[in-house]
Amino acid sequence: MSQDETPIVNCPDCGKSVIWNENSPFRPFCSKRCQLIDLGEWAAEEKVIQGSQLYSNHDGWSEEPDRN
Ligand SMILES: [Zn+2]
């Protein structure tokens, strides 16, 4: 009797092999990154990038961990 074979799928985003078990929480994606891409969350991250451009325009980085 063979143990039940673990299915292997290909990540829909990058095509990498993903073992379908609990070690792959993002299956069928290989990683959270690929999952996010597929969910369209990249669009949300673009907003963040645009926002930080506004900040760098404005007098730079006052978020130093230096402050007490
Ligand atoms: Zn992937």
Q: What is the pTM of this model?
A: 0.53
Classify residue 2: in a domain, yes or no.
no
pLDDT score recorded for residue 39: 81
Question: If you measure from the C-alpha of residue 18 to the centroid of ligand 1, how many angstroms do you get, rounded to a whole number?
Answer: 8
Classify residue 16: in a domain, yes or no.
yes
Which CATH number characterizes residue 29's domain? 3.30.50.10
Query: How many domains is the chain partitioned into structurally?
Result: 1
Q: Which domain does 33 fall in, by range?
A: 8-57
Q: Two tokens at 30?
A: 């290989």
pLDDT score recorded for residue 10: 95
Classify residue 50: in a domain, yes or no.
yes
Classify residue 51: in a domain, yes or no.
yes
Classify residue 63: in a domain, yes or no.
no
Whether 29 contacts 18, CB under 8 Å = yes
Ion ligand 1: protein residues whose beta carbon lies under 5 Å: 11, 13-14, 16, 30, 34
Question: If you measure from the C-alpha of residue 27 to the centroid of ligand 1, how many angstroms do you get, rounded to a whole number?
Answer: 9
How far is 31 from 51, CA to CA, in rounded Å?
26
Q: What is the pLDDT along the chain (68 residues), one digit of tens a residue?
A: 666 788 999 999 999 999 999 999 999 999 999 998 888 865 666 656 566 655 555 565 566 677 66
Classify residue 21: in a domain, yes or no.
yes
Classify residue 30: in a domain, yes or no.
yes
